[in-house]
Structure 1
């Protein structure tokens, strides 16, 4: 079974080249495109302020992140979790760019771009000219968005895992894969042949009402010899 990692980051802004930093990383392990239940999630002290416009997007303030580990403190655990698996993200170049900057700052090698799987690019090829944000894709695939009040990275990963499965072939494929992995319990249905049949017998009143109804019809087939 093929292992892959689906991940998301939240940041202080849009451009690591101007000093924006990663504040949250979430990742989900997939086997044959289905979540295994193994996750990685961490909040990170960005060592800088969190602009108000960024807080409105993800919900985190500087106070929320004070005392959290630095990226360098969690990098080894993150790299161990992702291993050498393909890395799936929505608008993956954004997340790769931020992680590469953080890895460089921690004196670690950048991620291999050959590992990158961008669900935004996949969606654009499948739905050209249509909105292909995560929210738009969730609505298109009837995926529940009720919990998504902010851009929480772990929740976004869980939503994207459902979107990714749809992009790769849909929920029917997911059921087949889950059966192959033993993720779905086998259920058997056995007819109970010991039950006594219960015939439906109309009452005299019902028979009379039916006969009266037939009299109102022109040449009813039920009265034909």
Structure 2
């Protein structure tokens, strides 16, 4: 079976044509790794933040991707990712007042196929973290499917759930990122910028990982399992 035949079932949903080089890069993306039982400090995490054209998960588009890596128990500033995506059909909306990505920035952005390939190569087989992760996971997954025909299967953990799980005394169960950064005394130099938000969320995650270790959740798998139990408790209390 040649490369083209192997990739054919996963061609982009909108029929976009990928070059031979892009098809090769797509075929070489590593498979996502499941969360394991090794210590949290030994896990490479990719902290993700997206800026989008709005909050409609089925219609709006990813405009900007920001990410930073947590590795060896610290934020690795040498491993950062930032791309604005070119969206020729993007219409200016109210969200520009939040993320500040005007027409000139969008027009000068990277071609989505290239930007998304670059990002998934940056991610590798690492799990992802985000604040309100279901939104980022859905938006990134849809962008990858539409542009690359790629199915996102990487584990995602939600920092917005990890925080109240580990710090119930804060009484901030439905709080935003600003609430949690204020609770821990963190300073966000710039908000609603994908890279800046990813960095401050990574700082928050490191604090939470320290709390997790003290509560005998010292592996990605243990943390994921504890989140599942916490989520079920929240759902049972809502009935």
**How far apart are 1:46 and its partner, in Å?**
2.4
2:156 corresponds to: 116
Q: Aligned ranges for residues 61-100 of structure 1 at < 5 Å?
A: 61-100=102-141
Q: Kindly state the Cα deviation for residue 126 of structure 1 after the two structures are TM-superposed.
A: 3.4
Q: Is 1:105 equivalent to 2:149 in the alignment?
A: no
Work out the CA distance in 2 between the residues paired with 1:127 and 1:57: 29
Q: Distance in 2 between matches of 1:76 and 1:93?
A: 21
Say if 2:180 is the partner of 1:137.
yes
The CA deviation string for residues 14-37 of structure 1, in whole angstroms up to 9 with x for no partner, is: 12312x111110111111341122
- The secondary structure found in structure 2 opposite 1:151 is coil
1:177-201 superposed Cα distances (whole Å, 9 cap, x missing partner):
xxxxxxxxxxxxxxxxxxxxxxxxx
From the CA coordinates, give the structure whose radius of gyration is larger: 1
Asked if 1 retains the 8 angstrom alpha-carbon contact of 2:84 and 2:105, the reply is no
- Structure 2: gaps of 5 or more residues: 1-41, 215-239
TM-score (structure 2 length as normaliser) = 0.65
RMSD: 2.0
Match of 2:195 among 139, 154, 162: 154
2:88, 2:164 → 1: CA distance?
A: 36
* Alpha-carbon distance in structure 2 between the residues aligned to 1:83 and 1:49: 29
Q: SS in structure 2 opposite 1:69?
A: coil
**Gap runs ≥5 in structure 1:** 174-225
Q: In the alignment, which residue of structure 2 is the partner of 1:23?
A: 63
> Per the alignment, do residues 127 and 48 of structure 1 end up closer, same or farther by CA in structure 2, a change over 3 Å counting?
farther
CA displacement at 1:156 relative to structure 2? 0.5
C-alpha deviation, 1:4, in angstroms: 1.3
The structure, 1 or 2, with the larger RCO (C-alpha pairs under 8 Å, 6+ apart) is: 2
- How many equivalent residue pairs? 168
Correspondent of 1:163 among 204, 218, 227: 204
